[in-house]
Amino acid sequence: MSVLSDITNTLDNAERLNPQLNALLSIERERSLERAAEIDAATDGLALRGTAIAIKDNICTKDMQTTCGSRILHNYMPVYTATAVRQLWDDHVVMLGKTNLDEFAMGSSTENSGVHTTRNPWDLATVPGGSSGGSAAAVAAGEALWALGSDTGGSIRQPAALCGVVGMKPTYGAVSRYGLVAFASSLDQIGPLTRSVYDCALLLQHIVGKDPRDATSVALPEPIELPTGERLDGLRVGIPKEYLAAGVEPGVRARFDETAKQVEELGGRCIEVSLPHTEYALPAYYIIAPAEASANLARFDGVRYGHRAADAEDLVTMYERTRGEGFGPEVKRRIMIGAYALSAGYYDAYYGRAQRVRTLVRRDFDAVFGDVDLVASPTSPTVAFAVGSRAAEPLAMYMSDICTIPVNLAGLPAISIPCGLSDGLPVGFQLIGPAFSENRILAAAHALEAAIGFETAPAFRDSGAGGVGVAPDGVAFDPAGGRNT
């Protein structure tokens, strides 16, 4: 089939599904068709020939809206394209459009988006997770085959878990952050959301690399390999007891335990380990991330980018009104916490101390990786929750990332793969590795994925995008096969 007819189908499906799903903020029909025709006519360099990809809307795309899900950037058109997207473009992908997110990637449900809330294709009454909820929902529903997200504290892995897709946060520095609108620069990473581990590896292969435009980017010590193995012989997998403590739903725990058993059936060994500073990771993150955000978001002042308040009589009033009108409540909360934590009298008490905790969290992992090859945990302590159920309680929302945040603090790579259902909703299994162990993680995840055999598909899914077990829109889906409850 030609790329053009393929992309036409994908666009038709996306346009049909999106009004209910709200995963995509923009669908670039004209451009996608133009690009597809170009690819059909090309004869060389067809590595990713015509693969349809959706891009989280905090990743800059030249002359294509990049809103960060914020009113303050509702009219922002970047003058350049992020390196990761540029590399994919050069390898002949088709950018279908931009995906919804919590404003500036701050949140775990997409309910903080200044545009609208994305729905989870497994159950439209629940959230898709966040902040890359639009990317996860788009892939789960078949609006796009692949998506890019960003992960600062779990924003690729948690929505991947809640939507039943694969999501990976690479080692800090493995993918250039050039063109990713900065939230917390020392934690942010771009990464893939796909339906399979193989696709995740393939997409990752095309976005990694040192970039002269991002001084924190590094060349991987070995190229990303496409996983093929089916066994885990000799693999030592650490299970940190702190991650299975209070707060993990029984259904999530059950799927996790079953998957851990499969690790052993495939020849691996599960060993209980301890990461003793886990309980301090969340509080440290909620100092460090807001501190960096308060500095990064200072640039949105009505002068350089996007929205500007009308009719302000002087400059300071213009700044105040622009930011007051442009930012939503969660972003304002973080800017205030960050500015406070960085202020002269409190810098050491809060920011300095949080940075020291970060070092302890990293050392916990260093110590454990002396004894085991990978660490496993649930990705999220719960399955997808009802829209509105945590929106009024920031702390309940922050707890969604309890198993993912320590990984960002330590700069490590981790993947989430679907490992079954609980109450008809997907559960994610997280594998964490030492820095630059992407190949080890992908190989193990690939073997496990095959053993788990997660084949059920969400109720709300495009039938034309190569899905399995498809059900028509809105019809209750009866999960068949696998280990569903």
Three-class secondary structure of residue 89 per DSSP: helix
Contacts 24+ apart (CB under 8 A), 219-226: 220/171, 220/174, 220/436, 220/438, 221/436, 222/436, 222/439, 224/438, 224/439, 224/442, 225/201, 225/439, 225/442, 225/443, 226/198, 226/201, 226/202
The span from the CA of 247 to the CA of 466, in Å, is: 36
| Structure tokens given for 420 | 């079954």
Catalytic residue among 155, 380, 416, 437: 155
- Residues 205/224, Cβ–Cβ less than 8 Å: yes
Count CB neighbours of 222 within 10 A.
9
Site for ligand GLN in 156-215 (CB under 6 A): 183
Angle at the Cα of 430 from the Cα atoms of 257 and 385, rounded to 5 degrees: 85
Annotated active-site residue 437? The verdict is no
Catalytic residue among 131, 132, 135, 294: 131
Annotated active-site residue 131? The verdict is yes
- For residues 264 to 303, the per-residue mask of contacts with ligand GLN, x marking binding by CB under 6 A and - elsewhere, is -------------------------x--------------
For ligand GLN, which is the closer residue by CB, 289 or 459? 289
The helix or strand, by DSSP H or E, that contains position 14, with its residue range, turns out to be helix 3-21
Three-class secondary structure of residue 425 per DSSP: strand
- Residues 180/82, Cβ–Cβ less than 8 Å: yes
Q: Per the omega criterion (within 30 degrees of 0), is the bond before 380 cis?
A: no
For ligand GLN, which is the closer residue by CB, 152 or 171? 152
The span from the CA of 394 to the CA of 287, in Å, is: 14
Regarding 135 and contact with ligand GLN (CB under 6 A), the answer is no
Regarding 107 and contact with ligand GLN (CB under 6 A), the answer is yes
Parallel/antiparallel/unpaired status of strands 94-99 and 52-56: parallel
For ligand GLN, which is the closer residue by CB, 238 or 413? 413
For ligand GLN, which is the closer residue by CB, 9 or 186? 186
CB of 116 to ligand GLN, least distance (A): 18
Three-class secondary structure of residue 24 per DSSP: strand
For ligand GLN, which is the closer residue by CB, 142 or 413? 413
Binding test (CB under 6 A) with ligand GLN, winner from 66, 120, 155, 422: 155
Q: Which region among 30-38, 102-110, 212-220, 427-435 touches ligand GLN (by CB under 6 A)? A: 102-110
- Residues 244/377, Cβ–Cβ less than 8 Å: yes
Looking from the CA of 210 toward its CB, the CA atoms found within 13 Å total 7
Q: Give the residue closest to ligand GLN by C-beta.
A: 155
Residue with tokens 């690479």: 170
Binding-site size for ligand GLN (CB under 6 A) equals 13
For ligand GLN, which is the closer residue by CB, 94 or 137? 137
Q: Between 438-452 and 250-265, two packed helices, what is the crossing angle to 10 degrees?
A: 100
Regarding 151 and contact with ligand GLN (CB under 6 A), the answer is yes
Binding test (CB under 6 A) with ligand GLN, winner from 78, 114, 153, 328: 153
Q: Which region among 145-153, 319-327, 340-348, 457-465 touches ligand GLN (by CB under 6 A)? A: 145-153
Binding test (CB under 6 A) with ligand GLN, winner from 61, 67, 108, 135: 108
CB of 414 to ligand GLN, least distance (A): 12
Annotated active-site residue 132? The verdict is no
Regarding 377 and contact with ligand GLN (CB under 6 A), the answer is no
The span from the CA of 53 to the CA of 84, in Å, is: 12
Regarding 416 and contact with ligand GLN (CB under 6 A), the answer is no
Regarding 217 and contact with ligand GLN (CB under 6 A), the answer is no
Regarding 57 and contact with ligand GLN (CB under 6 A), the answer is no
So which residues are the catalytic ones?
56, 131, 155
Under the rule (CB under 6 A), what is the footprint of ligand GLN?
A: 105-108, 131, 151-155, 183, 289, 401
